[in-house]
Amino acid sequence: DAKTTQPNSMESNEEEPVHLPCNHSTISGTDYIHWYRQLPSQGPEYVIHGLTSNVNNRMASLAIAEDRKSSTLILHRATLRDAAVYYCIVYSGGGADGLTFGKGTHLIIQP
Amino acid sequence: SQTIHQWPATLVQPVGSPLSLECTVEGTSNPNLYWYRQAAGRGLQLLFYSVGIGQISSEVPQNLSASRPQDRQFILSSKKLLLSDSGFYLCAWRTTAYNSPLHFGNGTRLTVT
């Protein structure tokens, strides 16, 4: 699976949008981009995934660059409950092997 | 709907004692099952995964072993715990569908003393 690069930490204010970047310059044409988040003392939680087009769900939006070498997870209106570590993972989609989690971005939300 | 159960939530064990952590999934058949470990302040490390009953793939040589005696049951074991086995153990599952997401349990926090 392609390697990803994320900032170690980011800080945002409550009720403001948050844009979490991820670089994956070695992504291949069939790799998917997955995002997970891990709240303190909990297991990771699936957030969203996409291939080429931007994706929206009830939790977040995923904006994928046209060359697919980067993507951005967008939280439209952050709450204190969104404080977590966010992982960006590039995954080929096939096979049974597990996902490889990097260090992720520690998102801090200020009230 | 599908659910994953993992127990116990916390565990304190002395060095040299055995370990057995259990994970079960409900609401799905023939899931792929996974054990991850997260040491304090570290990332998630994949330990084992299984694509079916009795089938175990080990990602990292460990003082640990895994077994899958039933379709939706995944067990993590050790005969003799080491201090370095302390950590947050997470079980996860996903369907065999292409690109299906992982679903994690709430984890077991193991402290080896």
**Could you tell me the two tokens for A98?**
């597990």
- Tell me which chain A residues have a C-beta less than 8 angstroms from the C-beta of B32: 96
pLDDT tens profile B58-106: 988 678 999 999 999 999 999 999 999 999 999 999 998 888 899 999 9
Closest CA to B105 of B1, B6, B2: B6
Stretch B18-42: mean pLDDT, rounded? 94
Report pLDDT for A43.
94
Q: How far is residue B22's CA from residue B67's CA, in Å, rounded to a whole number?
A: 10
Using the predicted structure, report yes or no on whether residue A85 has a pLDDT greater than 80: yes
Q: Which residue of B has its CA nearest to A50?
A: B99
Report pLDDT for B6.
95
Reported confidence tier of residue B41, pLDDT bands at 50, 70, 90:
confident
For an interface test with B, give the residue of A99, A103, A106 to mutate (most B CBs within 10 A).
A99
Using the predicted structure, report yes or no on whether residue A1 has a pLDDT greater than 70: no
Q: Is the peptide bond before A21 cis (omega within 30 degrees of 0)?
A: no
Judge whether B75 and B21 are in contact, CB under 8 Å. yes
Report pLDDT for B10.
96
Closest CA to B65 of B54, B53, B51, B79: B79
Interface check for B10 against chain A (CB to CB < 8 A): the answer is: no
Which of B98, B101, B106 has the CB atom closest to A42's CB atom? Answer: B106
Q: How far is residue A89's CA from residue B57's CA, in Å, rounded to a whole number?
A: 21
For an interface test with B, give the residue of A101, A103, A105, A106 to mutate (most B CBs within 10 A).
A101
Interface check for A96 against chain B (CB to CB < 8 A): the answer is: yes
| Mean of per-residue pLDDT scores for chain B | 94
Q: Which residue of B has its CA nearest to A86?
A: B43
Stretch A51-55: mean pLDDT, rounded? 93
Using the predicted structure, report yes or no on whether residue B17 has a pLDDT greater than 80: yes
